[in-house]
Structure 1
Amino acid sequence: MSRILEMVADRCRRNGIAPPARATVYKLLRSAAGNHYRVGDLPGPVQAALYNLEADSIVPGRQVAFYCFNYGDLAAMSFAAGLPWLALWQASRLPGHRRRSLGLLRAVLRARGIEDGRA
């Protein structure tokens, strides 16, 4: 996150405008669209984790990560750990995580160098 903030600030300075506050960037990232996936195109273990969705459903990456970490087996969690950083970051902010699942997700964030941003 620090690198993103630095890049945004540098670009703003080059264009003669004030860089946004850190909170503004976090707010934007929480609502950013990110990648979407068709359930039927995902690996079998991931589809099993998304147990309540039909194969034609289109699902945001953050929801794929959330379901894989909360309801998936090891293969589903491994798939989720490789999702784009934005999906993992957004998933970590969704309510309703099981305690161990959230701990594993936060460990993946740390291992991949993704700043959690929590106090």
Structure 2
Amino acid sequence: MATYDNSHLAERTIGMAEMEKRPWRFTIEFDDEKAKRNGYNVDDLYDCVGKYAEQMGNVRIGLGTWQAKNRKVQFGAQCPVCATLSKQPWVMQNIKSWRTYEDMNEPEGEDYLQVIRDISPERIYD
């Protein structure tokens, strides 16, 4: 019976697990029709979110998506931004979807709008 040295597979698996541990991130999608109706341009809304999110330690990684600069600052970077943005009428009146991605809810993320509906329904504009 042949024996195989598979120790390299364990190292590869550990390396893959480390790669998957991305810093926390969130994605906001604004509704173009709502924004127009409310006198906003969605690109301007994304830029406004970015100005705030980026000062708090997040980097823009795509349209409507910000990620903490690193895992060490992720709690202080993401949580205050999401909490503050959820209190802003210009965000909540124009939002279509909002997902947060943290270790416990990867890869699907969590529907942050549903969290707001459950905890602070007065912030939701339907």
TM-score band w.r.t. shorter chain: 0.3 to 0.5
Q: From the two aligned structures, give the one with the greater helix fraction.
A: 1
TM-score (norm 2): 0.36
* Rg (Cα) greater in structure: 2
* Structure with greater proportional strand content: 2
Bigger RCO (CA 8 Å, 6+ sep): 2
